[in-house]
Amino acid sequence: MNKELFVLLLKGIPIGISNILPGISGGTIALVLGVYEEIIDALKLMRLRVLLPVASGAVLGILLTAGLIGGLMEHFPAFMFALIFGLILSSAGITIKDVNKFNYQAVVSGICGFLLALGISANTAAAGNSAIPAVGKVAAAGILGSVSMLLPGISGATMLVMIGMYQTMLQALTDFNLKIIGVFSISALIGVIGLAWILSYLLRRHRSVLMAGLSGLIIGSAFAVVPDRFGIAEALGIIMGIVIVLLLTRVGKIKSYK
């Protein structure tokens, strides 16, 4: 494996880890790592030389840390939510710096992104679960889940909870229900490719407006993980989250394949 592919593999690891942290999305970490546009373009053009190492790194990150993060969330929830809170807020600083024109369009985009993320966070707790889903609902869940994979600030797990499909999909994975998994995967792939074309166009033609909207999404998503209390442990968690983002931005400066 050459250096460029190895760098993409390494960058995929924290993207995968972020997908099992509640309230934070892989898109947010991809932005911090400076690989977001590269992934969007690779999806648009089906550039497997980029997609395969990133996806492999993401899977590796999930497998290596799922047990550890699950244990930390169970035994130290306040600290972990504080850490995620720090991750999210400091990540927003990355996208805000990329807003070159603060015109009314950028402001409106930022407010809409903020309200969307806030609404999703508020509705998550009230969502139910579907016991026996129709094929159409599974397909819709796949498309919505794919959107949340690419849009920073919207967690895929949060989106599935909100539409009442989180437990259903977990059960399908546990039971290895190929029908549900297949429909979800195919619709998610269609959604990812379709959204990649839209995002690629917006990045080229309306970059500041898009980045303002993404910044709003990221900031709004932080309200879902505000710690219940603020003590020394929570303060340390927030500081650690900020430090992690700063370290990831340094990693993001390492050149990858283009």
pTM: 0.74
Give residue 193's domain range. 3-252
Residue 218 located in a structural domain: yes
Mapped onto helix, strand or coil, the DSSP state of residue 229 is coil
The pair of three-digit structure tokens given for residue 240, joined into one six-digit string: 């650690």
| Domain count for the chain | 1
How many other β-carbons are positioned within 10 Å of the β-carbon of residue 115? 13
Residue 195 located in a structural domain: yes
Residue 152 located in a structural domain: yes
pLDDT, residue 250, reads 82
Residue 13 located in a structural domain: yes
Q: Is the pLDDT of residue 121 over 70?
A: no
Residue 33 located in a structural domain: yes
Place of tokens 């497998």: 63
d(CA 18, CA 237): 16
Residue 257 located in a structural domain: no
Residue 147 located in a structural domain: yes
Angle at 169 between CA 136 and CA 124, to 5 degrees: 90
What's the mean per-residue pLDDT of the chain? 81
Residue 205 located in a structural domain: yes
pLDDT in tens, 228-242: 778 898 899 999 989
